[in-house]
């Protein structure tokens, strides 16, 4: 049984939560303001106040999020203890099944995106409250979960200088009032949410929800705070206040022992930590000024382009000449009383210097934000394929650092979910054991846990975290065929292993999108194992002719520099000026 907090402890906790939540207000407001720029002015009524025609922020966040969490995380468990390897394999299968069941591949990008705007927060736990499914249709009773928590619904001890020194942290969430009264010990104290005052501050959720004034719910809702107390290792449940977002009127509802991972139910993803502060500097906080400047310039160019026009003026008394020129076709020779009676007035459009400045801002954003052109594959960065591949691989050490941080965070979360799964006394997982071509269904029950979870000393490697495009997959297959299948063809045949070329060509057609590849191959005979000596997959005698063909090309940076020089009126060589019309690559 958890240690029930005293009335005095509850009062002090409520006041501490109230103060810390107020200290987090500037971070929430910056988060919401950046989200408005991210979604633009056409998302909803509460989107950006002005047009965002040049969304550098969206480009950067989408590129990095794809690089950091583009794949479906699958864990690879290894243990140094041979006697535990069988159970380690079962735990690996169970954990990967759990990650699929709770759609962790959808939750992780939300957390990574949150780390760009403020910090990513995940809440882990085990749903064992009540008999009904609650807190979202993806939550099954007695199943571990991992949910993304937004900064709007988050609070931690702002008086602490390090994360491991916080006295409390927790999140707010809403659930059906009827369910909450059955779940919690003092659920009868909970009251329905009222929407009479509307939002008092900007929130990220208000982008789509708008103001909550006079909002109507299908079922009555209530809101509670789950506050983790690290010292007592317990979760204290408080009712959300009725006045401000957090106030001291929230009553004590319940207290629950935390039986999960040692460091509690919450994990933080922070890309730019600041010493002596728990709150990091989010990448968006460093990108906003350049993003706003580029869009201000773009909006000014838009106004200039709209003002551009040509007007024809006629002197008083010269109306006949004006009518003659208006009715003449292109290239006609007409007779005018006085050609000076008609003149044209041109109102300038886009300022060349301003356009050159915008191009420079784009290049500066790519440079400051980690070479987005290379990371996003927007255009070749070098004039040869080999050089461009090298630049892409080593595009940004910032990306490497972010990948390492995200990897450590993901491993920590997966290890926590695995521990919740392993220590659950009621968890029974159906699994399949394979012996050659025979599959045998088995059950992994609590009786199969042979040791304490900490004794496994496992290494978790989410090997599929990063997104791999079809071309990258095809390249891996090609390298495997060249480096392994071809040299060891005879040994493979001796062990009864052969290459299914029909399947290989099917995969090539699928990954390249060339349906013609499937139609070119005619399979008149079934594949048979050949007897006798095996012929090499490549002739031992080959002739190779290397022909070097020089084709003029251009890079994205070179084209931009040539355009800037043209706009500024600088002299340049004809070959350099010609880059503007050349295709990149």
Q: Which of 518, 546, 413 is nearest to 102 (CA)?
A: 413
Does the CA dihedral 397-400-406-407 come out positive or negative? Answer: negative
CA distances 106 to 6, 25, 34, Å, are 40, 28, 22
Q: Which of 27, 33, 29 is nearest to 289 (CA)?
A: 33
The gap from C-alpha 70 to its chain's centroid, in whole angstroms, comes to 7
pLDDT at 132: 40
- Widest CA span of the chain, in angstroms? 108
Distance CA 486, CA 540 (A): 12
pLDDT at 130: 45
| Tokens describing residue 543 | 């002739």
| Tokens describing residue 243 | 């006045």
CB 155 within 8 A of CB 21: yes
| Tokens describing residue 284 | 């968006």
CB 53 within 8 A of CB 75: no
Q: Which of 36, 34, 29 is nearest to 50 (CA)?
A: 36
The 3 state secondary structure assigned to 102-137 is: CCHHHHHHHHHHHHHHCCEEEEEEECCCCCCCCCCC
pLDDT at 555: 62
Residue 438 has a CB neighbour count (10 Å cut-off) of 7
Distance CA 259, CA 128 (A): 12
Distance CA 511, CA 273 (A): 40
Q: Helices in 264-396 by DSSP H: which ranges?
A: 283-307, 319-327, 352-368, 372-375, 385-393
The pTM (predicted TM-score) of the whole model is 0.77
pLDDT at 281: 95
For each successive 10 residues of the chain (585 residues), what is the average pLDDT?
Answer: 87 93 93 92 87 92 88 81 77 87 92 95 77 46 85 94 94 90 89 67 72 76 93 92 55 91 93 93 94 94 91 87 87 86 85 88 86 70 48 65 91 91 77 70 72 67 67 80 85 83 79 69 56 43 54 59 67 62 50
pLDDT at 546: 56
């Amino acid at each position: 049984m958890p240690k029930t907090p005293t009335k005095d402890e509850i009062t002090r906790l409520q006041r501490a939560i109230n103060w810390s939540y107020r200290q987090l207000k500037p971070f929430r407001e910056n988060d919401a303001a950046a989200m408005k720029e991210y979604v633009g002015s056409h998302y909803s009524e509460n989107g950006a106040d002005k047009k965002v025609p040049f969304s550098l922020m969206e480009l950067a966040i989408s590129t990095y999020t794809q690089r950091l969490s583009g794949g479906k995380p699958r864990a690879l468990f290894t243990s140094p203890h041979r006697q535990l390897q069988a159970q380690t394999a079962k735990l690996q299968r169970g954990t990967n099944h759990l990650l699929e069941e709770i759609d962790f591949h959808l939750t992780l990008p939300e957390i990574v995106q949150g780390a760009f705007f403020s910090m990513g927060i995940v809440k882990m736990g085990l749903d064992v409250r009540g008999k009904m499914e609650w807190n979202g249709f993806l939550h099954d009773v007695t199943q571990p979960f991992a949910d993304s928590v937004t900064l709007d619904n988050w609070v931690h001890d702002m008086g602490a200088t390090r994360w491991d020194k916080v006295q409390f942290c927790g999140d707010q969430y809403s659930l059906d009032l009827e369910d909450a009264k059955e779940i919690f010990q003092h659920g009868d104290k909970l009251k329905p949410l009222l929407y009479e005052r509307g939002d008092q501050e900007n929130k990220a959720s208000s982008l789509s929800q708008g103001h909550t004034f006079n909002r109507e719910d299908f079922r009555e809702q209530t809101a509670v705070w789950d506050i983790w107390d690290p010292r007592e290792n317990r979760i204290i449940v408080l009712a959300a206040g009725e006045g401000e977002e957090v106030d001291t009127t929230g009553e004590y509802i319940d207290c629950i022992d935390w039986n999960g991972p040692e460091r509690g139910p919450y994990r933080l993803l922070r890309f730019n930590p600041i010493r002596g502060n728990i709150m990091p500097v989010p990448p968006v906080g460093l990108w906003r000024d350049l993003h706003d400047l580029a869009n201000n310039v773009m909006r000014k160019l838009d106004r200039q382009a709209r003002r551009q026009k040509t007007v024809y003026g006629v002197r008083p008394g010269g109306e006949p000449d004006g009518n003659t020129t208006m009715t003449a076709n292109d290239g006609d020779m007409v007779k005018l009383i006085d050609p000076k009676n008609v003149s044209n007035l041109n109102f300038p459009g886009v300022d060349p210097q301003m356009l050159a400045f915008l191009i420079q801002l784009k290049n500066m954003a790519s440079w400051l934000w980690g070479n987005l052109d290379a990371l996003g594959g927007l255009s070749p960065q070098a004039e040869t394929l080999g050089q461009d591949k090298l630049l892409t691989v080593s595009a940004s050490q910032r990306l490497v650092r972010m990948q390492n941080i995200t990897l450590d965070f993901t491993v920590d979360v997966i290890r926590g979910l695995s521990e919740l799964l392993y220590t659950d006394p009621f968890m029974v997982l159906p699994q399949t054991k394979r012996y050659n071509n025979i599959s045998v269904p088995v059950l992994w029950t609590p009786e199969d846990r042979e040791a304490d979870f900490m004794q496994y000393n496992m290494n978790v490697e989410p090997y599929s975290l990063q997104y791999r495009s079809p071309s990258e997959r095809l390249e891996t297959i090609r390298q495997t065929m060249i480096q392994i299948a071809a040299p060891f063809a005879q040994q493979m045949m001796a062990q009864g292993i052969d290459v299914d070329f029909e399947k290989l060509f099917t995969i090539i057609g699928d990954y390249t999108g060339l349906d013609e590849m499937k139609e070119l191959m005619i399979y008149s005979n079934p594949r048979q194992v050949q007897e006798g000596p095996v012929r090499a997959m490549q002739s031992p005698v080959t002739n190779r002719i290397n022909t070097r063909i020089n084709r003029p090309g251009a890079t994205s940076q070179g084209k931009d520099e040539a355009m800037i020089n043209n706009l500024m009126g600088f002299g340049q060589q004809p070959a350099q000026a010609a880059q503007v019309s050349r295709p990149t690559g």
